[in-house]
Amino acid sequence: MRRLEGQVAIVTGGSNGIGAATARKFVAEGAYVASFVMCDVAVESHVEAAVNRAVEEKGQLDIMLNNAGMMHPRGHAIAHVQLDTWERVMAVNVTGSMLGMKHAARVMMPRRRGCILLNCSVLGLVKTDYASYGYVTAKHAVVGLMKSGAVELGKVGIRVNAVSSNAIVTAMIEKWLDEVSDGACPKEVFEEDMARCATFTGKRLTVDDVANAFMFLASNEASYINGHNLIVDGGYSVHGRNIVDFKSPSSLD
């Protein structure tokens, strides 16, 4: 029997990258992944409608993956942080995750079962020069959100966990990389630098690696795991090695 046979899932930000890879794995393992029109996860009515539609179509919601997120150009100097950008990053990454958890819990609690997952980041564990104040702060907040949810919702049979991965060149990362490097750092160079930052060698991180982590946490194999942040970074966060200059990859030497 497939690991998610008969279960219903929502994956926000599921059109590409990690979200798309995870949605494919969920489907391959027997889940129905609800599809819905464009949803701004920072708008409560949008999130509420997406959850309601899944329940109306299938009668239940078993898995909620809060994957949608956004980055913005470097902004690593506090004097240069723009409030409107800061607020949007918080809205998508933090408020969006909270709303997804809130409305998933609303329909899961009566059944006393369910799985809520959040896409965090190693930047919720460490700080590097290349990441902005807003993104790093948001990802730290999402880890706290996960822990708070696990404490409350675990009491009614709902598991809440997270995955924190190192950077992968998805469409979001590629756009951000072009902005912060002024086009001077090809994605291949960035991928090489990410691999060099890990303590594990022999492969590079892929979206499927992260999707596999979400798949595990969603499955019965993780039935007694709650409040856990599964780190998928090849050991990067063990030492938190910095990437200081995208225009000069040799800065890692």
Kindly list the catalytic residues.
135
Residues 6 or more apart in contact with residue 43 via CB below 8 angstroms: none
**Rounded CA gap, 182 and 71, in Å?**
16
Contacts 24+ apart (CB under 8 A), 42-51: 42/88, 42/91, 42/92, 42/95, 42/96, 42/99, 44/99, 44/103, 47/96, 47/99, 47/100, 47/102, 47/103, 48/99, 48/103, 50/10, 50/12, 50/103, 51/10, 51/103, 51/104, 51/106, 51/107
Whole-angstrom distance, CA of residue 129 vs CA of residue 76: 6
Ranges of beta strands (E only) in 67-127 are: 114-119
Q: Do the beta carbons of residue 159 and residue 226 sit within 8 Å?
A: yes
Sequence-ordered strand ranges (E) for the chain:
8-11, 32-33, 63-66, 114-119, 158-165, 229-232
The separation between the first and the last C-alpha atoms of the chain, rounded to the nearest angstrom, is: 49
The neighbouring-strand residues paired with 33 are 9
Give bridge partners of residue 162 from the DSSP assignment: 118, 229
Residue positions counted in the chain: 253
